[in-house]
Chain A
Amino acid sequence: MNGNKGEKKKGRVVVAMSGGVDSAVAAALLVEAGYDCIGITMQLWASDLPAGNRGESGCCSLTAVEDARRVATRLGIPYYVVNFAERFEAEVIDSFVAEYLAGRTPNPCIVCNEQIKFGILWQKAADLAADYVATGHYAQVGYDSGRGRYVVQRGVDPQKDQSYTFHGLTQEQLAHVLTPVGAYQKTEIRQIAHDLGLGVAAKPDSQEICFVADNDYARFVQEYAPESRRPGPIFDLEGKRIGEHKGIAFYTVGQRKGLGVTGPAPRYVVSIDAARNALIVGPSEAVQGMRLIAHRVNWVAISDLAGPRPVTAKIRYNIAPQAAVVEPLPDGRVLTRFEAPQRAITPGQSVVWYEGDLLLGGGRIEREESGPREPANPAEASAAGLAGGGLGEAVAVRG
């Protein structure tokens, strides 16, 4: 349908256009490849969101709409704006704030991908008789006939790889995802944008969470949920009360600033005890861990984890993958044991497991797990005889 030249198209794609260069080039590449493209910008927040959040050049503001519209015009594709503000607030913003209130540190981009971009936007795309949703993510999505599964691989540009944010996508979702820019370096993408005269080639990359334009999460959470300002005790590792915090929602594991505790050495947040509305702080060495337990696990390249397996793992978006071993636990949880100590294992963040460039799966970090302090040995893990794992030991939360 819908060809200007009446030629048969490869399928219809809704391209999520943020107004930025990556999604603009994604659209251009797909048009070039013969897909029947429709550009859509999602309006993601209501105008009554706390001020200072709608970054004027940030995602989905009016400037963004204009930029995206112009690109769509240039490419000769239909362009619409859809309003998902209610659902975005309910799925992404609410959970973002709730996680902080519960003493965890969320990554809302993960939720947005799962619920919004490849959730309701996919539904909208299907309503428009589209076969796919495309985004400007730097990841590679495709079908692996050997495995009989849709798989995700790291984008070829290691600086920009965004595959981490795809760990929660199901096979049903991945079957309808196209991410053309994942096969390119960022510099190549900018060059393509420039060559095509798309006008957004020089636009700076957005660095912040799209709905917190000034990056001040604490302020955002405070305005959104005033009940977050609940002062409580700060304890050291021995359990001694050494200060007061402003509300656990404003802190994250590994944080040093804003604790207001004096002492001979700097202190860092080691863990957050929501039940006691407390922060537990300690020296830098205490913010290190070797093991973590993940829940809400989703497998991508494999259907399930049968036994221990060597992997590389990222415990946050901005980190290189680290050597580790994963092990299934009963009830679907997964234990990750790292070869080297990891800094600031943070509940609420995602842990994503890779095999080379292939994304195996991921989950939310439920907690750091203190076990034997020897590093994991991948060679041992490969031998089937590894026993014990974390089950028989006391599972103590740090502090």
Chain B
Amino acid sequence: MAGFWRRQGPGVNQPAIYLDHAATTPLDPAVFDTMRPFLADRFGNPSSIHAWGRECRRAVDAARDQVAAALNAASSAEIIFTSGGSEADNLALKGLAWAPGREERRNRIVVSHIEHHAVLDTATFLAEHGFDVVLSPVDGTGLVDLERLSELVTDRTLVVSVMHGNNEVGTLQEIPAVAEIAHRVGALAHTDAVQTVGQAPVDAAALGCDLLALSAHKFYGPKGAGCLYVRRGVRLAPLVHGGGQERERRAGTEHVAGIVGLARALELALARREADAIYLTTLRDRLIAGVEAQIPLARLNGHRTRRLPNNANFAFPGLTGESLLMNLDLAGIAASSGSACTSGSLEASHVLLAMGLSRDLAYSSLRLSLGRENTPDEIDRTVAVLAEIVGRLTKPGLVRPGVVGEEGRQ
């Protein structure tokens, strides 16, 4: 039987096109090369006292130094390796909530309305456990309303969490301003930078945040590896207790290959960031221009300029993102939307709803997120295919395709 995943597109000599980099990115072969020894002969447990262990301990230490340097952290001790961005976000909020010595009165947690579920659901969980969780609104482009934020952040606030770049519509927040609002009242600032690493400058010092989460598989690194940056002096309770790894903040034998891969991917991403950002911005703008020209009914969601270089998100009034996604998939093009289709549970994107889109418009939205390996040709073909699909779905008095004639079927 044929394999399920087709990299070959529907036509002859027509490779499929991957435009879902916000979901995940392909592993950079250079990163894989760096990882491979640690999946082969360098298999030691970093906590062991013998040579096998020491070798891997050295590798993890080196990776930690690399990441600290890349993020402009003050020290490597500020880096905690995790299984990914979700764990890092969970550790940040729950770690602060349950930290020994947390001021009793600081029980408010302020999160933006458009955070990733790893932050929102964690906050909801903490609300069920006695914390005062408030959502900070955004405007129609997804920008956090800083004035409103200032009102919500009081001296009873423990932490403010605003993501650096939004995964659905790409809106880039003014994190230094957010951090300042938090620090003014003695609160901490956390930012989920999972989407921005490799695209925008991610400098912990410059951003001013106290905690920052990132995830390797969003910047051409492996899945299952992420990290939480925690400014020295910030105390966290661990989520995972056990062997005391990560300075007692995150137990569990280190995923050495993943950590090494994360560090290498981060190093490469930083080196290429400016060039990538320019290239992706050009491609993205080509995509946006193409869609606006060929599909007049489409509307861009999000901010025009304060936007991740690789992100394009459109609403197609009258259609559903689901239909578009399925049709694109059948045409060999990968995209996504804010609603989860795989389990059949269709919820409109909370991000789009928070930005003020109607439910219908939210359901009608499609996200295309580009990557380094995409080409202008792929962009043009995607626009053409999308235009064809939209045209077919919006034809008035639609005669269903393939209407069987008098002859009937074979």
Please list the residues of chain A having a beta carbon within 8 angstroms of any beta carbon in chain B. 1-4, 6, 10-12, 38, 41-43, 62, 65, 72-83, 124, 126-132, 142-143, 145, 148, 150, 175-176, 178
Contacts and interface: CB of A to CB of B under 8 A. Distances in A.
Contacts of A76: 1-4
B341 A80 contact: yes
A129 B402 contact: yes
B330 interface: yes
B327 A130 contact: no
B343 interface: yes
B6 interface: yes
Contact of B404 (A75, A130, A148, A176): A176
B30 interface: no
A43 B401 contact: no
Given A12-B402, A83-B346, A129-B401, A143 B409 contact: yes
A148 B343 CA distance: 42
B10 A127 contact: no
Interface string B1-24: 111101010111000000000000
A38 B409 CA distance: 19
B408 A4 contact: no
A139 to B, nearest CB: 15
B17 to A, nearest CB: 15
A96 B398 CA distance: 31
B120 to A, nearest CB: 19
Given A62-B343, A65-B343, A176-B404, A82 B1 contact: no
Contacts of A81: 341-344
Interface residues of B, number: 35
Given A12-B402, A73-B4, A126-B401, A65 B344 contact: yes
B403 interface: yes
Nearest to B319: A127
B344 A43 contact: yes
15 contacts: A2-B10, A4-B2, A43-B343, A43-B345, A76-B3, A76-B4, A82-B341, A83-B344, A127-B327, A129-B327, A129-B330, A131-B402, A132-B402, A145-B406, A176-B402
B330 A78 contact: yes
Contacts of A80: 326, 341
Interface string B329-348: 11100000000011111100
Given A4-B2, A127-B323, A143 B343 contact: no
A74 B1 CA distance: 7
Contacts, number: 87
A1 B332 CA distance: 10
Contact of B344 (A74, A77, A82): A82
B322 interface: yes
B232 interface: no
B241 interface: no
| B interface, over-half SS | loop
A253 B342 CA distance: 43
B305 interface: no
B394 to A, nearest CB: 11
Contacts of B402: 11-12, 129-132, 176
Nearest to A3: B10
Contacts of A1: 10, 330-331
Contacts of B409: 11, 142-143, 178
A127 B31 CA distance: 41
A175 B346 CA distance: 30
B1 A41 contact: no
A128 B322 CA distance: 11
B393 interface: yes
B163 to A, nearest CB: 28
Given A73-B4, A128-B330, A142 B344 contact: no
Contacts of B8: 4
Interface string B361-400: 0000000000000000000000000000000110000101
B400 A126 contact: yes
A150 B407 CA distance: 11
A128 B343 CA distance: 19
Interface string B81-115: 00000000000000000000000000000000000
Contacts of A124: 323
B339 to A, nearest CB: 9
Nearest to B409: A143
Contacts of A2: 10, 330
Contacts of B2: 4, 76
Contacts of B323: 124, 127-128
Contacts of B10: 1-3
Contacts of B345: 43, 83
The 3 closest A-B pairs by CB, nearest first: A143-B408, A131-B402, A76-B2
B408 A176 contact: no
A5 to B, nearest CB: 8
B152 to A, nearest CB: 32
Given A41-B344, A83-B346, A175-B403, A4 B327 contact: no
A82 B341 CA distance: 7
Contacts of B407: 143, 145
A128 B326 contact: yes
Given A83-B346, A128-B323, A176-B404, 4 more contacts: A11-B402, A12-B402, A81-B344, A175-B403
A128 B330 CA distance: 8
A82 B11 CA distance: 26
A60 B91 CA distance: 36
